[in-house]
């Protein structure tokens, strides 16, 4: 099984709708640890991504390029910047391609994870979106079937939330709250889980 440009356009629409639906939840989660604007930012960001998707483009790399350009123009936040990095990484990795086999998703997400870490300074275990992405990338290793990939990715994202909820945040503004972050979901990890759940329906 492979993903094509139509799948990406549909995913962009679903991500837009999911970001809008999770707006209040994400703002509340971020309000406990930061500025309280994660929901606002992601709603704006994914609306821009969906609008930027070229209607007739078949090259998946060019779609990711359009998404990256929309991201860069729509946010100045640290999380939004990481989304831009993700789109740029995927654009580079899929250059000249019209399909992406499910079997390659683990490697692509691992590449995104590594670029996010390099750009944002996060390390695995810091309790950030990078940890959620790492969990999903590892869950897809060796998976070639679409249904199996969806089930594995969804389970991994939820498991990562559950695993890290009891840990302290060690990155960004949230790290200043120390032990008080135990028992709270990291807003980036929560957003990743909500968006992933919608995109892989």
- Are the C-beta atoms of 52 and 78 separated by less than 8 Å? no
Over residues 128-139, the pLDDT tens digits come to: 999 999 999 999
CA distance 187 to 12: 20
Average pLDDT, the chain: 92
Percent of the chain residues topping a pLDDT of 90: 80
* pLDDT level of residue 177 (50, 70, 90 thresholds): low
Least confident of 84-88, 95-99, 141-145, 176-180: 176-180
CA distance 67 to 58: 14
Q: Look at residue 175 in the predicted model and tell me its pLDDT.
A: 66
- Domain segments of the chain: what residues? 2-199
Note the CATH number of domain 2-199: 1.25.40.340
Q: CA dihedral defined by 52, 53, 54, 57, rounded to 10 degrees?
A: 150
Over residues 18-73, the pLDDT tens digits come to: 999 999 999 999 888 877 888 999 999 999 999 999 999 999 999 999 999 999 99
Distances (CA, A) of 18 to 4, 59, 117, 155: 21, 25, 25, 18
Distances (CA, A) of 83 to 75, 99, 122, 160: 10, 21, 14, 19
Percent of the chain residues topping a pLDDT of 70: 96
Who has greater pLDDT, 82 or 76? 82
pTM, entire model:
0.92
Q: Look at residue 200 in the predicted model and tell me its pLDDT.
A: 86
């Amino acid at each position: 099984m492979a993903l094509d440009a139509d799948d990406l356009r549909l995913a962009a629409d679903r991500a837009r709708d999911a970001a809008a639906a999770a707006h209040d939840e994400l703002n509340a989660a971020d309000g406990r640890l930061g500025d309280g604007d994660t929901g606002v930012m992601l709603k704006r960001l994914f609306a821009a991504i969906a609008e930027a998707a070229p209607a007739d483009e078949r090259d998946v790399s060019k779609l990711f390029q359009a998404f990256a350009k929309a991201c860069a123009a729509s946010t100045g936040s640290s999380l939004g910047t990481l989304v831009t990095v993700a789109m740029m990484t995927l654009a580079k990795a899929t250059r000249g391609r019209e399909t992406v086999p499910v079997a390659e998703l683990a490697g692509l997400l691992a590449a995104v994870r590594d670029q996010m870490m390099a750009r944002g300074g996060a390390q695995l275990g810091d309790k950030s979106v990078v940890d959620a992405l790492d969990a999903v990338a590892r869950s897809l290793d060796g998976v070639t079937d679409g249904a199996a990939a969806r089930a594995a990715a969804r389970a991994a994202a939820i498991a990562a939330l559950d695993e890290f909820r009891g840990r302290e945040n060690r990155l960004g503004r949230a790290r200043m709250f120390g032990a008080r972050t135990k028992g709270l979901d990291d807003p980036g990890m929560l957003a990743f889980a909500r968006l992933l759940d919608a995109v892989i329906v």
